[in-house]
């Protein structure tokens, strides 16, 4: 049996660690737009160049969900598939996945596909994908993996710090009035993924490190106690390292993975944004 973990490209994890060599890892790419130009969010996207072009452009920008065919192309490569999307409240990726799953299983009823609406983005999908790879390595049955990842999902939190929310406001993900106030005052925003998969504002702050200290405090208040952490960042190694070091001071054996944001999360988090997913 061949196993595959398939995410859309909102997942900032671009490959599994080499220790998980029994599992194929694939992504269904979203697309990004600057004016009339379309950029496919895959391994060929030059994210730094894309971000620079976006900042310099006065044209409208946007993003679009993967096509059903891109999911189907991934399904073809394995017998048992676990597929994860960005929150269905933020994108049409979930509906694209479900359409693809229904169409594919009609012609391939022997295949098994378990679909997960992450209700998150970025490192939130990454931490789920990493746990799925662990379960597959344990040679658990398909049914057992489905049960375990469903329960595990209930105990994952996601917080993120943004210096700009211009693109979130433009695309209707954050209230326009709140966004304008934050932009004018130069405030850093601490936000999180709600249980429903929407974006909740947790705290607003002007201090350079104060917002990251507040992030850690919010993690602790949410039940974090030294579990796995995945931090993704948009050209902000310094702040990612700061959060990691503060966590290690409290939990010396904590397992922390730091990765750069992919195209979609770079687009929405914008430069210097970071996303922190954690087991609670």
Whether residues 195 and 273 fall in one domain: yes
| Model confidence pLDDT, tens digit, residues 153-209 | 999 999 999 876 666 555 555 554 455 545 444 567 899 999 999 988 888 776 556
Q: Which residue has the tokens 């001071």?
A: 249
Strand partners for 278: 157, 229
CATH number at residue 24: 3.40.50.10170
Write out the residue range of the structural domain in which residue 85 sits: 3-153
Beta pairing class for 31-34 and 61-64: antiparallel
Phi, then psi, of 150 in degrees rounded to 5: -65, -40
Same domain, 201 and 135: no
- How far, in Å, CA of 64 to CA of 163, rounded? 24
Span 90-125, pLDDT tens digits: 999 999 999 999 999 999 999 999 999 999 999 999
- From 153, 177, 196, give the residue that closes a domain: 153
In this structure, are 200 and 83 located in the same domain? no
pLDDT band, very low/low/confident/very high, at 22 (cuts 50, 70, 90): confident
Are 124 and 205 part of one and the same domain?
A: no
Q: Are 38 and 259 in contact (CB under 8 A)?
A: no
Q: Read off the CATH number of the domain in which 201 is found.
A: 3.30.1180.10
pLDDT at 6 over 50: yes
Residue written as token pair 């290690």? 248
């Amino acid at each position: 049996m061949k196993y595959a973990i398939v995410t859309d490209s909102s997942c900032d994890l671009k490959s599994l660690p080499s220790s998980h060599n029994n599992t194929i890892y694939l992504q269904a790419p979203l697309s990004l737009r600057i004016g009339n130009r379309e950029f496919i969010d895959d391994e060929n996207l030059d994210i730094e160049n894309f971000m620079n072009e976006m900042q310099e452009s006065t044209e409208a920008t946007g993003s679009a969900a993967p096509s059903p065919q891109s999911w189907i192309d991934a399904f073809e490569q394995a017998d048992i598939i676990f597929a994860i999307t960005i929150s269905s409240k933020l994108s049409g990726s979930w509906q694209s996945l479900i359409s693809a799953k229904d169409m594919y299983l009609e012609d391939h009823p022997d295949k098994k596909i378990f679909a997960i609406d992450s209700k998150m983005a970025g490192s939130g999908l990454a931490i789920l994908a990493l746990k799925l790879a662990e379960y597959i390595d344990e040679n658990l049955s398909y049914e057992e993996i489905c049960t375990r990842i469903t329960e595990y999902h209930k105990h994952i939190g996601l917080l993120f710090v943004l210096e700009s929310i211009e693109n979130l406001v433009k695309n209707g993900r954050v209230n326009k009035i709140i966004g304008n106030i934050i932009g004018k005052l130069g405030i850093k925003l601490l936000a999180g993924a709600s249980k429903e998969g929407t974006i909740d504002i947790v705290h607003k702050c002007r201090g350079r490190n104060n917002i990251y200290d507040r992030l850690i405090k919010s993690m602790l208040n949410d039940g974090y106690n030294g579990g796995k952490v995945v931090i993704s960042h948009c050209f902000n190694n310094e702040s990612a390292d700061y959060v990691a070091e503060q966590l290690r001071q409290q939990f010396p054996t904590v397992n922390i993975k730091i990765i750069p944001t992919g195209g979609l999360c770079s687009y929405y988090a914008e430069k210097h944004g970071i996303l922190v997913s954690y087991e609670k």
